[in-house]
Structure 1
Amino acid sequence: MMSKGQVGRLAVASPDGESTSSTFDFLRRTLAEGAGKFGHFLRRPGDQVASAFWYAFKRPLFGLAPYRFSLFGPNATAVRLSPTDPWPGNADEGAEILAGNFNFAGNTLRNPAPLWRPPGAPAGWVADLHSFSWLRDLRAVGGDAARRRARDLVGSWLAANDHYSAPAWQPVILGQRLTNWLGQYEFFAASADVAFRHRLLEGMVQQARHLSRVLPGGLAGCDLIMALQGLISVGACIPGCESWLERGLALLERELAKQILADGGHIERSPSRHLKVLRALIDIRALLHASGKPVPPSLATAIENMAPILRLLRHGDGGLSLFNGSNEDTGWQIDMILQRADGAARSLLNAPDSGFQRLQAGRSVVIVDAGRPPQPGYDRTAHAGTLGFELSAGRERLIVNCGAQANHPNWQWVQRSTAAHTTAVLGDTNSSQLGPQASLFKTPRNVACRREEVEGNTWLDMSHDGYRDAFGVVHHRRLFLSSTGDDLRGEDRFEGDGAHPVVLRFHLHPDVTASLAASGDNVLLRPAKGAGWQFRARGGTLSLEQSVYLGRAGEVRRCEQIVVTSDAFPRDAAGDGLTEDADGTALRDLQIKWAIKRMTAAKTG
């Protein structure tokens, strides 16, 4: 990641999408020092800045008649390859679409009019509508009625969106639509009349021609991979479009080198985004196999390396951990992805490049965010949850983060706050400053983690300096999991030079019932199944508060959280907790110790 003080290079994209480097070091550094959205934008990698500028410069031209005519060319007459889409849809959602109810991004619109541009529709809802991923749900319903409905909706889209308009032709939405149209071609188009198939192929070729011209189109991370999948799909499936396959694969290889970290993690550090990227790469590999094309070694390596990280990020119920905008997802679908990855069932506990740690013993799993937040340009779904963790026992989730509802305006700020994670909040302030358009402004500069394992017991010693600038405080967190998995202990220490209120939050899964002891010194946790657990803390006041669980897409559930509060650091007069830094400055240490232990049958009965 480029810091403010480093010299950067601004890559200016040429019309063919390649990059030439021009040095605007002083200008870029000066502008990047400025606060606000533009300063954060310029801290992104140089190629992303150039791509976004170039796309914004050209975008007004896309709606003009000359550009529209330039998209016409030799049209394909048939689909050479109809890729098999192995991913199951949701028949209940498909039935809703048959009834005229479109349920996307947590919002339901009944018989929206006009269908493709309903006034007041949320941006996430519109994006899902135009992506056509819901064709899979209609396929799950099956029968002629679902097939005709899918065909009618695709035909309606082609009539209403036959030239550039936003957001329908935005690169990531366009790429997903091409992938989904080709993936469901046998379902809704293969048996259609010649006129419909001709119109569909003409529309796909024109959209792919536009996509090839504009990519990367200001996209980065998972979004760019999804757009590239659409271009590669058209290039592999439609005769005469082979040049787009070559261009798509060249861009993909370049992105894999940037996005897939040395340990196999995805650069955005989001379990859900990691899952989407891996699934897209698996589909691209299958498409190349089916079309008789060689699979680039970088693609095969990326799939092989990403699968173990996906296993690291799963809980005992098979679902994902809730970091950086993630949902649980469904365990059987993740199983499908891992099975199709075809890699050896390697397991990882330590992912230092990705910044995640897994502590596993007995039936207990602890997953920890022990890494620095993703750099600008890859922080679209990043949360301020540094050093947060989750705990599950068997298939029961106990301690969680709040999760996320994607594209939901009511939750986009709350779900990203430090308080929405199982970690420490200092001075009612986020450990990373939340910025506009889902970015992070100021993040911890130093996040450290040391792992030690002895006779099945595991220790993590971690720290971050996200509160140093605001309060002059460094947060240290130490976790210990016993070899039996029945004893998880933690110590949160705050080293600094001032007095600030500290709150530790432990969000509970909605299926966990919590009761605070009359003595106020412990909380009994009872999951839906299995043994109970007891939470104790020392160094702060213990209480139970309401919380919210956003871990499943489209669901908002009430839950509780354990809160440990300490009003201030120890006073000088107490003479307790005082240390000195290297130059002799007096520092105050505040320590809060806590433990979560499984209770025996005698105690829980």
Structure 2
Amino acid sequence: MGQDRSGGGRRGSLGDRLRARLAARARPQGPVLWPEPRVAGELARARQILKGRWRIGERLVEAPGQSVWEIAPETPEALALHGMGWLDDLAAEGSAKARLLAQEWVGDWIARHGGGTGPGWVPELAADRLLRLLGHARFLLHPPGVGEERLGPAVAATARFLEARWRHAPQGRGQVAALAALIQAGLALPERRAVAVRAAQALGEEARRLVDAQGGVASRDPEELLDLMDLLVGANRALVAGDLPPDPAVAAAVGRAAPVLRALRHADGGLARFHGGCRGTEGRVDQVLAAAGRPPVVVRGGVPLHMGYLRLAAGRTTVIADAAAPPTGPASVAAHASTLAFELTSGRRPLVVSIGPGRSFGGRWRRAARATPSHSTLSLDTVSSSRLGPAVAGEAGERLVEVPGRVLAESAPGSDGLRVEMAHDGWRPSHGLTHARLLQLLPDGRALAGEDMLTTLTAADGAAFDRAMNASSHVGLPFALRFHLHPDVEAEMAADGSVAILLPSGEEWVFAQEGGEGLLGLEPSVYLEEGRLRPRPTLQIVIEGRALRPTTRLRWTLAKAYGTPEGLRDLNPRADWDEEDE
């Protein structure tokens, strides 16, 4: 259902439960000034909800005509439903049927849990729920409606709970969402403007802390950066509309983050999918960037790093590569072993991708998606470039505990296109090998040339490589260079051993290997898309082989086929999710 990024699997503490019961007594002290409506959902997801079909973690639910609160299983993904992300989707669909269902489910939640009971009374879920109840209030109040006599107290109670418990929300997005919700509620509820003033001051402090000097966030998750910018921009807009001065630190944080978010947007308008992030709801990135404005950016030579990512763009092609070490510590609970992986989009069509975060498909898919083979890069001997540690109580996922100690990235524009060289030492302690990757995008964007190399750098590396070879009985260390393809792409092996690729736009691409180190083929893969009912089957291009020497070199090209026009008009519509998921 709707995208809840609140990590809503946490159960409430005793403090949460006590505050919820006390807050449930709150009532508005006059008419509520409901804010302007917000629409940021997915139509296809709404259509599935209206059919009574949705995915809750590993479970596919089909229960038309039943309330979500009657059938939701006790799983972390089900608890996140109390954040009411599904309201975004039903409001985006906007039909009378969607409106009546939204009103029924919200009314049912108020009847069941409005008294301060149930799993939804934790700060991060309460924040998401309050933002949605306020943002979709007019949708919910449209006759027959939930009724102001029910919706108003629910908003007042949730705001009173958050006022006492927002500091107990997870740091980062959780606390920013709570403060943004308090600003909205303080401006909407009579005689509560002081709440909005205090929340605005705290939001400035959070914005200053969370968005670093380069405009990035600690998790390196592009979608988290989008979420934070959306919340910050929305809070400032509400303060201005309410004749309250925004904290300058919020505008400064948005100004730092906007160029980074813009750099992480592919040609099709979606975000690069790295470190637990999805591409974002259709059009949302553009809306947030438009609201943020265009602060001046000075780039001094080369291709700059944006939150650890390199972006190459030429013609209709964009390439975004993960060129920095993954996060560690609490910021790494959703991070992936994706170092040196890249994505490529041509016009409106993604071509090379990762399999995605998998968070909406349950724990097993989420863990599998974090491994190196789930990304478009090289994997060695079934060992990821970063490794997961043991689970920590109260956290949404396992932290990364072994990450590359050194990641290098250099870039330079030239007459023959944009060229980047990257390297990481994630396998150096275990195998003595460093992975180096070169990517070169031609000036017209019609071809990407690549080279991947596994090599030893020192005598100590050579000794470690020999030990690994001995452990393999000298048959070599197995490697696989993977290029996951988007499920809308068609691909087949050609007679000359290359891979012929056809995009829905009509563009034809060819993947070819140069040299004989490794066997080129096509293998099955999956694409984990947020909101889909099932993983989407797709293909991956794989070059497999064994490292038998201290240096193994793989060269390849991905280029538009000869005769593919430069200005091909892409008139084919994208398939609707609800039709494909039948």
Write the distance in 2 (CA, Å) between the matches of 1:119 and 1:146.
19
Residue 77 (1) aligns with residue 29 (2): yes
Residue 259 of structure 1 aligns with which residue?
A: 210
> Of 370, 391, 403, which aligns to 1:416?
370
Residue 340 (1) aligns with residue 291 (2): yes
- Map 1:410-489 to 2 at 5 A: 410-435=364-389, 436=391, 437-455=397-415, 457-489=417-449
Residue 181 of structure 2 aligns with which residue?
A: 230
Write the distance in 2 (CA, Å) between the matches of 1:389 and 1:213.
43
Gaps of 5+ in 2: 1-9, 392-396, 457-461, 470-476, 566-582
Q: Is the 8 A contact 2:328 2:401 kept in 1?
A: no
Write the distance in 2 (CA, Å) between the matches of 1:354 and 1:327.
16
Distance 1:95 1:218, change over 3 A: closer
Residue 185 of structure 1 aligns with which residue?
A: 137
Residue 573 of structure 1 aligns with which residue?
A: none
Residue 505 of structure 1 aligns with which residue?
A: 482
Q: Is the 8 A contact 1:327 1:553 kept in 2?
A: no
The alignment-based identity, stated in percent, is 30
Deviations 1:83-116 (A, max 9, x none): 2234254556556656655666684342687743
Distance 1:598 1:136, change over 3 A: closer
> Of 183, 198, 207, which aligns to 2:158?
207
Distance 1:261 1:166, change over 3 A: farther
TM-score, L = length of structure 1: 0.78
Write the distance in 2 (CA, Å) between the matches of 1:149 and 1:81.
24
Q: Give the match's secondary structure for 2:387.
A: coil
Q: Is the 8 A contact 2:485 2:539 kept in 1?
A: yes
Distance 1:262 1:532, change over 3 A: same
- Map 1:255-334 to 2 at 5 A: 255-334=206-285
Residue 543 of structure 2 aligns with which residue?
A: 564
RMSD (Å) for aligned C-alpha atoms: 3.1
- Tell me whether 426-435 or 340-349 shows the greater mean CA deviation: 340-349
Instruction: Give the residue type in structure 2 aligned to 1:215.
Output: W
Deviations 1:138-187 (A, max 9, x none): 43454666555434432321221135455311211110101111112222
Write the distance in 2 (CA, Å) between the matches of 1:593 and 1:394.
25
Cα deviation for residue 569 of structure 1 reads 3.3
Distance 1:113 1:80, change over 3 A: closer
Deviations 1:460-481 (A, max 9, x none): 1211122223223222112222
Distance 1:125 1:471, change over 3 A: same
Distance 1:87 1:104, change over 3 A: farther
Instruction: Give the residue type in structure 2 aligned to 1:487.
Output: A
Write the distance in 2 (CA, Å) between the matches of 1:297 and 1:107.
46
Identify the structure with bigger relative contact order (alpha carbons < 8 Å, sequence gap 6+).
2
Write the distance in 1 (CA, Å) between the matches of 2:77 and 2:377.
29
Q: Give the match's secondary structure for 1:532.
A: strand
Gaps of 5+ in 1: 1-54, 571-587
Residue 541 of structure 1 aligns with which residue?
A: 519
Q: Is the 8 A contact 1:361 1:456 kept in 2?
A: no
Distance 1:313 1:74, change over 3 A: closer
Q: Is the 8 A contact 1:139 1:147 kept in 2?
A: yes
Residue 525 of structure 1 aligns with which residue?
A: 501
Distance 1:251 1:488, change over 3 A: same
- Tell me whether 336-345 or 137-146 shows the greater mean CA deviation: 137-146
Distance 1:257 1:516, change over 3 A: same
Instruction: Give the residue type in structure 2 aligned to 1:342.
Output: G
Cα deviation for residue 377 of structure 1 reads 1.7
Q: Give the match's secondary structure for 1:135.
A: helix
- Tell me whether 151-160 or 559-568 shows the greater mean CA deviation: 151-160
Distance 1:510 1:199, change over 3 A: closer
Distance 1:256 1:569, change over 3 A: farther
Distance 1:564 1:123, change over 3 A: same
Q: Is the 8 A contact 1:322 1:551 kept in 2?
A: no
Write the distance in 2 (CA, Å) between the matches of 1:70 and 1:149.
29
Q: Give the match's secondary structure for 1:465.
A: strand
Q: Is the 8 A contact 2:404 2:424 kept in 1?
A: yes
Distance 1:336 1:270, change over 3 A: same
